Amino acid sequence: MAVSYRECRRNHAASIDRYAYDGCGEFLKAGKDGTKEAFHCAACGCHRSFHRKVLSLSVASIHRRRRHHDHEHKNYKAKTKRTKITEEQKSKMRRFADKLGWKPQRHDEEEVGKFCGEVGITRKMFKVWLNNNRRRPVPVRVPEKCRAASVVGVKNLLAAEE
């Protein structure tokens, strides 16, 4: 990757709220590499940072960067797998979280570690799950018999009111 510096962009009239550029078309070193003068332009006297920086990439370097980016993207995709938690694990975690008051304290760390080992999850997974589910209401499961009975009961009540 080659770097070159082009026209000077220093505003010489900035102190009086105006714009005035000196017209220097390209940065020319005022001294040898490694000296302070190498950072100043021989044509206009400005520091190199006032000149527009241009990066020129060769075709080979563009392809190299592209392959590197693709490789990183594949690695990132491989790392971001979602964890599946079973209903049994969720119910155990819900009961344990209720026991802890949904906010484990430092003195609970040993107990949390033991619980995570029993359930088959990591401590980090449990803490993430805990934060994500802290404010979610507990789902209420109504048995099928009750659902059918409640529908029949509502129909009977409606029929009685007519």
Average pLDDT over residues 25-35: 87
Average pLDDT over residues 95-108: 85
pLDDT band at 145 (very low <50, low <70, confident <90, very high): low
Main-chain dihedrals φ then ψ at residue 4, nearest 5 degrees: -135, 160
Average pLDDT over residues 27-48: 88
How many residues are listed for the chain in this entry?
162
**Residue 53: enclosing H or E segment and its boundaries?**
strand 51-56
Using the structure block, give the residue that is written with the tokens 């026991």.
Answer: 99
Continuous H helices in the chain: 59-79, 87-100, 109-119, 123-133, 144-161
Which tokens sit at 16? 């009086």
pTM assigned to the model: 0.39
